[in-house]
Amino acid sequence: MIQIFRSKGIPSESEIKAIGIIQRATAYFRENLTQDTTAEDLVGDYRMLKVALGAIGLEDDIANKAFIRKVLESDIGDSASLVNRLGDKRYLKLAQAFRNLDNTEGTSGKVTEAYVRRQFEKRVGEGDESYRLALNARNEMKAFATRTSSDKTMWYEVLGNKALREVFEGAFGFGSTIANLSVDRQLEEFMSASERILGSSNFAQIGKDEMTDKLLTRYLALSQIQTTTSTNRYSAALTLLSGRVD
């Protein structure tokens, strides 16, 4: 996939990291995150919050400071807490990232690395959104493969993660109407399609490079077909409207 990005003139992740504005953002975050940093401190510092949210893919929530503070202050050990009740598990990742600040160097390193990676994905998406989604899915699958949660739990996370869900929906050939089914029925359909198309619905297997490549190659191929079909239909419509049909 990296070769494809380079052929499109997209800068590498290391080149993204070297961009001045990103260097300044990550340096500021590392310098200002301390063991005493609270949820209130984080949401009160726009520059730090921008990196923290950007690292998780939640940059659109930059104005929702009260909500983000509640997320950060939620008890991740309580299944009934706000952060554990939210369908979008990126908020849980955010809370987990800042739960223990004893090792601020380690935390800041992980957050800033994730931020740079997201900036890379963003620039990939400026050329083709499907490539950004595919790159994001690859990173997510690597993380899923190392987790001990049940496969059903992680499939529910896929259903609740808009970007990741779009990749699986595209690879499995699902239309938008599948969202009209009950969540449990959607789970059955996704797991069944994964068994049929990928050969497994187990994330320890899906997260392996070979199977992840199979998933993403299929997604990108079907996405390209859909884009080409839409373009052809658009061109045909313009032809009809301009009266150039024989």
Is the pLDDT at 224 greater than 90, yes or no?
no
For the record, the structure tokens of 53 come out as 């949210």
User: What is the pLDDT, as a whole number, of residue 22?
Assistant: 85
Residues of the chain with CATH 1.10.3700.10: 12-127
pLDDT (tens digit per residue) in 228-246: 554 454 454 444 444 444 4
pLDDT (tens digit per residue) in 71-111: 999 999 999 999 999 988 899 999 999 988 889 999 999 99
Do residues 116 and 26 lie in contact, with contact meaning Cβ atoms separated by under 8 Å? yes
For the record, the structure tokens of 166 come out as 């779009």
The CATH topology of domain 12-127 is: AGR_C_984p-like (1.10.3700)
pLDDT (tens digit per residue) in 106-155: 999 999 999 988 887 777 666 678 888 888 898 889 888 888 889 999 99
Secondary structure (3-state) at 191: helix
pTM for this entry: 0.59
Check residue 51 and report its DSSP letter: H
5-30 CB burial, b ≥16 within 10 A, e <16: beeeebbebeebbeeeebeebbebbb
